[in-house]
Amino acid sequence: MTDIFFFIALAVAFLAYALLVFGFVKLFAQRQINRRLQQTQSAPPVDTVRGPSQIKNEGGWHALLLSMSKLSVPEGDWQNSQLRLKFIRAGFRGPTAAQTYFTVKTTLTLILPLLVALVIFVWSPATPYPRLALYAVSLAGIGYYLPDIYLRWMTSRRSDKMRDTLPDLIDLLVICTEAGLGMDGAINRVSLEIARSSKILAEEFNLAALEIRAGSGRSTALKNLALRINLEDLDGLVSMLVQADRFGTSVAESLRIQSEVMRMKRMQRAEEIAAKVPVKMLIPLIFFIFPALLSVLIGPAVIQISAMFAK
């Protein structure tokens, strides 16, 4: 009888993990589709991120996502809060991104700890109930914060990729403005050319160009660009462009100075990473390399001494 319950628990756990993996696959597939649409300049605007309450019931998959995500959706107008901005900064802008996120959080918080507790109870019935409850509560806490950690990691990864390519983008802006293009045309041209180096920056500047083309002011589009990316270097670039547009100063010269400053910062970051390498090498050096060297150098002497004392 115990074996039957054990196999049932394993089957339920397998179905839960299959649902979780399917949700991640669906999310990344939607991201790929959005990226291709944005590369062809036919992507929807940023406001296409919709909440679970806004998406219609379009089949069994959406119904399942909607029912499970409701358990983790925060109260209030969360779509106009920092949570929606986190989705945008992490690159999750598909129509089912919010649903998938909250569904994964619900699964990791409620379903997974119960399944693990059931498997432990069936596999080891002698486990005390307080310890079993402690395992379930610990897994629930980890599962609740794990999607947030993943979201912050994706945001940091995107920011690092854009930070390294930003000086090259500014050089392209300098070339376009010195060639006679206006700032609006330069932004549109750079969004096409920078795609070879950084598709993320091309996507963001393409959205800014689409905002300007749709009738939004240049300052508003640039501020929205800085808000979406949340990068210190880009904030300085946007502030410089807004001030140059307001006071009528030379944009090309300001961009050239900004590019030099960003390159200097990039070089300083590279030097900082190189300076941290010897400190990071201490742990493998002490725990892995030194013991092997000592065993090779001192091992034969120890064997000979022990054999001599044994005689």
Quote the pLDDT of residue 214.
85
Q: Estimate the crossing angle of helix 82-90 against helix 97-106, to 10 degrees.
A: 110
Identify the burial level of 69 via C-beta atoms within 10 angstroms of its C-beta, where 0-12 means exposed, 13-18 middle and 19 or more buried: buried
- For 182, the 3-state DSSP assignment is coil
CB contact at 8 A, 124 and 118: no
Q: What pLDDT, on a 0 to 100 scale, did the predictor assign at position 26?
A: 64
Q: Which amino acid is at 3?
A: D
pLDDT for res 57: 42
pLDDT of residue 8: 61
Q: Which residue has the tokens 């002698």?
A: 126
10 Å Cβ neighbour count for 101?
25
Residue-wise pLDDT tens for the chain (311 aa)? 455 555 565 555 656 655 665 666 566 666 666 666 565 544 444 443 344 444 444 445 455 555 545 544 555 444 456 777 788 888 887 777 777 788 888 888 877 777 877 788 778 777 787 877 887 888 888 888 888 888 889 888 888 888 888 888 888 888 888 888 888 888 888 888 888 888 888 888 888 888 888 887 888 888 888 888 888 878 888 888 888 778 777 777 778 888 788 888 888 888 888 888 888 888 888 888 888 888 888 888 888 888 888 77
Tokens of 103: 């569904």
Q: Where are the alpha helices (DSSP H) in the chain?
A: 2-39, 60-69, 82-90, 97-106, 112-123, 129-178, 183-193, 199-213, 218-229, 232-247, 251-280, 282-284, 290-310
Q: How far is CA 181 from the centre of its chain?
A: 35
250 in the Ramachandran plot: left (φ > 0), alpha (ψ -120 to 50) or beta?
Answer: beta
Q: What is the pLDDT of residue 27?
A: 61
> Residue 52 has what pLDDT?
42
At 36 the pLDDT is: 61
Tell me, what's the pLDDT at 39?
A: 58
What residue ranges define each of the domains in the chain, with the CATH number in brackets?
Answer: 2-127 (no CATH), 160-276 (1.20.81)
Tokens of 65: 């996502």
- To 5 degrees, how large is the angle CA 261–CA 268–CA 197? 70
Given this model, what pLDDT does residue 58 score?
A: 44
